[in-house]
Amino acid sequence: MEWECGEDFISLPTDCMKVAMTIDAREPIVWGGQVHVKNLCEKLVKNHNCEIDLFVRALQREDGKLYNEDEILFGGKLRILRCGTPKPFFNFFERVVSILSMVKRISQEYKKGHKYQLLHSHVYLWTLSGGMASRWLHIPHIVTCHGTQVLDKWHKNLAYYVEKFILTQIKYDTEITVGKSLYQYPNINKNIVLIGNWINMEEFYSVSSVTDQIYKILFVWRLDEFKGVDILIEAIASIKNNVHRPFEVHLIGYGYEEGKYIKLVSELWLDKIILFRWKVLGKNLANEYATSDLFVLPSRSEGFGIVILEAMASKIPVISTKSWWPEDIISDEENGFLVEKNDSDALAQKISACINGEIKNLNTIVENAYHTVRTRYTWDIISDLVFKEYQKLWK
């Protein structure tokens, strides 16, 4: 049987490939890594006849709801296997403990007859689970790096050394990275493959439905220092009295430092301009994009920036900082706008120009962005590329 992959054709054995995959969590689907894994699993099952067991942490949501039951999807070809005792997403101790609980669960499933041909881990800590399980079961181990945020900050704390060790000091059969930032660090792994993120175009509206007189600026991602939320807040503070129309900033997401940003917004008297929207998912998130006038991603370090693609697919203009991967998606003034990271003044000037209608070819830039996503970034492409790496290790 033959499968098409870009310009190449891949010859498949008649039996399917059985893959064990590990990641922190499946719900709530907010972070780029979770979106990546969700779509990758579905495409590998549908397009490449893979059987995948996805091992994740059992979780307890803030409202008390538990995610601790296994799920069987696609006729049993995709199983979501939850490991450990349900704990809140940000419980650090449980994250560490779950490393061993995942290894135990993988071994149990293997003994039950689920003979995995390879193990695919998504960093960070759950790479250790995958590594231990792959050595115990004597199967190849592929790792996907979703960014180097801690290394890029150069703060020599415990998190820095843990990330450095996992990404650059452990030998893997293949190391995949979604962005180029990993290449700047010395690495014992020589087989590093660049495969970015993609999106499902059909999930986002291709025509903006903006009708409100209030200009709406959107941010979607984690509320933490890596994503430059403080830079965005400072930029808004500097322009709030210097634009020609009323505007709002909607912050969608949550994170370790959300309390700090709530306090900063209050101190700068921006409570009526900057609105915290917290978790917005699925069709509601697509609607947020469609009803926005501008998307801003002020990251200090960005592994890929899947939200950039989501905004482009929704036909709204995008401003991003130069933070490694966004420069590969955006050509400044052609399909979006790039400013230097950590520069709130430059960000403020670009936001102000958009609000005041000073960019004459904005519609062309938006159309160029939509074309970029439609022709370069789909999940069928990424599943083909990842499956090619699987085949290289499939004995």
CATH of 201-376, one of 3.10.560.10, 3.90.550.10, 3.40.50.2000, 3.40.50.10740: 3.40.50.2000
- The type of residue at 305 is G
Please give the span between the terminal C-alpha atoms of the chain, in angstroms, as a whole number: 17
Q: What's the pLDDT at 13?
A: 43
Among 327, 372, 7, CA closest to 201: 372
Can you give the pLDDT at residue 204? 78
Q: For the chain, what are the domain ranges?
A: 2-198+378-393, 201-376
In angstroms, the CA 51 to CA 28 distance is 23
The CA-CA-CA angle for residues 316, 320, 322, to 5°, reads 155
Give start and end residues of each alpha helix (H) in the chain: 32-48, 92-111, 125-137, 149-153, 158-164, 229-239, 258-267, 282-290, 306-313, 326-329, 344-355, 362-376, 379-393
Structure tokens at 265: 């917004």
For the entire predicted model, the pTM comes to 0.72
- What would the pLDDT profile of 231-276 be if each residue is shown by its tens digit? 999 999 999 988 888 999 999 988 778 889 999 999 999 999 999 9
The whole-number pLDDT of residue 11 equals: 40
The fold of the 2-198+378-393 domain, in CATH, is Rossmann fold (3.40.50)
The residues of the chain scoring below 50 in pLDDT are 1-14
Long-range contact set of residues 271-274: C-beta below 8 Å, sequence gap at least 24: 273/236, 273/240, 273/247, 273/248, 273/249, 274/233, 274/236, 274/248, 274/249
Residue type at 391?
Q
Question: 2-198+378-393 and 201-376 share one CATH topology?
Answer: yes
